[in-house]
Chains A and B, each alone.
Chain A
């Protein structure tokens, strides 16, 4: 036990010992299939860390390793600089509290009984009844105290078990998907509470699935993938689209809106990518944003133009990484952008003209569509366009081969009805 300090590098000060250090740790239930592979990271006092990763990436196992319930096959897990396997269970429970994902208790104990059990590790240093009372009050579930535990709802059980863990009065709180059985208001209440506890000095490590919750609440994220660390660091760096695409196999788009950052996802482009053909959107002012997403999600390659930079369609297109013809903000369409648009139009299997307000600034877009029509390209027009047209030129599209579609929904439905290769 006294050997622990010797493991530290000689130059490190004693107070530099991380609260929890996972050092090249590996673990396997079955030697053929390791669950945790050479994972390294360290937690400082007061850290607020989210652990994310696909199903089966080893998140729960990692928590069990930190709590010393499992011992690493290789490497080491140190708590306060001391290997977890050297801890007696009671001493470990005083350092680390864990809120498990699943919790089974069939016997008719009251919530108060259950919460008081958390005080077991503290022996006679506190009165179980009074610390339980405090924890129940803190979590706002004092009214449940006399209820029988098995009769609680999933969310109430979750809160009771959290209260049990808080009664342990440990410096580190590990949570395994605590939000999974909570509705959205209780989810937010829980994470606000965790943030509050963290503010009071509690070190929190929370496994969760919802990446947007992770993004909103946690300061640091550990991204696990197939038992290894895919990313570890400040939240927004750890959740970069590149990492998410590599780890989850989906395309992720990071948005910043009204001071908030959030992610949206779309399925990964099928290999080869061109199975459903290319659709060029002539849009603007937000009229094309949802189509950009819908069509991308359906496996189409999408391009757009001409859009003014910072136009909301242009922002969406940039997030989705679409090829676009872009003009400067608020400027009328110039020759370069127009030519680029014609080039994109020429390669498209289908041209969609949305209900974009047409004016002098973007009149050349209509010109480009006419050129495509003249070439014999397939052009679909949203009916709403005619009501938005201030140039009066759009009405003449009625006389062309362009197909008028009622709205986006009808357009997508019509596309879905076509055989897979029809767009080509």
Chain B
């Protein structure tokens, strides 16, 4: 929190923290209005994406799944793009439209996958990927007609925490109770690793569990995307990384993924704003740069001993 284009010493940091927000002290303003919301946001978004990633990978029994395959992120991105074109960039409306876009996409994909009262996870996956492509195409069309806002849209799509305010943090904090939801379903999630049929045989109310978990993952994703754009790799890599470290049992996998996601994104954002200061690298680029080599290393090292 001390590092950034304008350095604050640890002592200064401590002082600002204890003193609380002060209107006329530039250091305090940097700390409270720029750094603090940013770090909190990175923390919450990282946690949300990691938890959503764990849920979806296990529900689909597909290690390539990440929070973006449900199409929710593309829906949210479209909402945000529309907001930017309408000149609402940076406002609460952008976040609102992104959320609406994400949840509307979920509803659509959900309806497609629902047959005879059951959710077919494969159809859900395929419908989600299809919706992703379709919505991306729509976003491209919108961008072609939005010469002026092109830069803003592109930057938003790449994912960034720059210029985020406490308003964004408040939106992001909605995600916190949703992150807690899967912690109440760790047993069910473990059993579901054996497939839906076996879970039914062992007494799990599979449909209810799926509904709760998919909606939770979608809400987490929509909230994350709505405040920070599309940040790649966290939701895909963190669950794998943590599984390699502590195994697939959800009692440890979920909370540790949550913390690792938060930590990874905080560090990534730190690098994003300091490496080429005073300019910024999109944080999604940084996560990919950190995540890819670490992941390949862990895969090569093999399973946990």
- A residues adjacent to B (C-beta < 8 A): 67, 69, 88-94, 97-98, 100, 103-109, 113-114, 117-118, 120-121, 164, 168
Q: Looking at the complex, which one of B197, B201, B249 makes contact with A113 (CB distance below 8 Å)?
A: B249
Specify which of B61, B188, B200, B304 is in contact with A106 (CB 8 Å cutoff).
B61
State whether A93 touches B201 (Cβ < 8 A). Answer: yes
Known contacts being A103-B198, A105-B193, is A93 close to B203, with CB within 8 Å? yes
Instruction: Collect the chain B residues with CB atoms within 8 Å of residue A90's CB.
Output: 203-205
Q: Assess the B202–A103 pair: CB atoms within 8 A.
A: no
Establish whether residues A100 and B200, one from each chain, have CB atoms under 8 Å apart when the complex forms: no
CB distance from B4 to the nearest CB of A (A): 41
20 chain-A/chain-B pairs, Cβ below 8 angstroms: A88-B205, A89-B206, A91-B203, A92-B203, A93-B201, A93-B202, A93-B203, A100-B197, A100-B198, A100-B201, A105-B195, A108-B248, A109-B190, A113-B190, A114-B194, A117-B187, A117-B202, A118-B202, A120-B188, A120-B203
Is the CB of B5 closer than 8 A to any CB of chain A?
A: no
Cross-chain contact B303 with A108 (CB below 8 angstroms): yes
Interface residues on chain B, number (Cβ under 8 Å): 23
* Bound complex: CA A263 to CA B194 (Å): 38
Q: A69-B201, A93-B202 are in contact. Are A109 and B187 (CB under 8 A)?
A: no
A89 and B247 in contact (CB under 8 A), knowing A69-B197, A113-B190, A117-B191?
A: no
- Cα separation A97 to B205 with both chains bound (whole Å): 16
Which of chain A's residues have a CB closer than 8 A to the CB of B303?
A: 108
CA distance A98 to B203 in the complex (A): 11
A258→B43 CA distance, assembly (Å) = 76
Give Cα distance in the complex from A247 to B283, angstroms.
Answer: 68
Contact of A89 (CB < 8 Å), options: B193, B194, B205, B249: B205
Interface string of B58-87 (1 = CB under 8 A from A): 000100000000000000000000000000
Contacting residue for A109 out of B202, B204, B247, CB 8 A: B247
Q: Which of B251-305 contact A (CB under 8 A)?
A: 303-304
Task: Give Cα A164–Cα B195 distance, bound, in whole angstroms.
Answer: 15
CB distance from B233 to the nearest CB of A (A): 22
Interface contact A109-B248, CB-CB below 8 Å: yes
Give the CA-CA distance A277 to B195 in the complex, in Å.
56
- Cα A90 to Cα B198 with chains together (Å): 12
Compute how far the CA of A107 lies from the CA of B61 in the bound complex, rounded to whole angstroms. Answer: 9
Instruction: Name which residue of chain A comes closest to B187, CB basis.
Output: A120
Tell me how far the C-beta of B52 lies from the nearest C-beta in chain A, rounded to whole angstroms: 18
Chain B residues with CB under 8 A of A120: 187-188, 191, 202-204
Do A94 and B203 form a contact, CB below 8 Å, given A108-B248, A109-B249, A113-B249?
yes
Chain A contacts of B187 at CB under 8 A?
A: 117, 120
Q: How far is the CA of A363 from the CA of B203 in the complex (A)?
A: 74
Q: How long is the Cα–Cα vector from A69 to B201 in the complex, in angstroms?
A: 7
Residues of B within 8 A of A121 (CB): 202-203
Contact partners of A106 in chain B: CB under 8 A: 61, 193
CB-CB < 8 A to A88: which residues of B? Answer: 205
- Chain B contacts for A168, CB-based, 8 A: 202-203
Docked pose: A106 CA to B303 CA in angstroms: 13
A307 to chain B, nearest CB (A): 55
The answer on a CB contact under 8 Å between A89 and B200 is yes
Contact call B190/A117, Cβ cutoff below 8 A = yes
What is the chain B residue whose CB lies nearest that of A122? B203
Of all chain A residues, which has the CB nearest B195?
Answer: A104
Residues of B within 8 A of A69 (CB): 197, 200-201
For the complex formed, measure the closest distance between the CB of A123 and the CB atoms of chain B, giving whole angstroms: 9
B-chain residues with CB within 8 Å of residue A91 when the two chains form the complex: 203
Top 3 A-B pairs ranked by shortest CB distance? A93-B203, A121-B203, A107-B248
Q: Please name all residues of chain A whose beta carbon is closer than 8 Å to the beta carbon of B201 when the two chains form the complex.
A: 67, 69, 93, 97-98, 100
Chain A residues whose CB sits within 8 angstroms of the CB of B195 once the complex forms: 104-105
- Bound complex: CA of A104 vs CA of B199, how far in Å? 12
Give Cα distance in the complex from A118 to B249, angstroms: 15
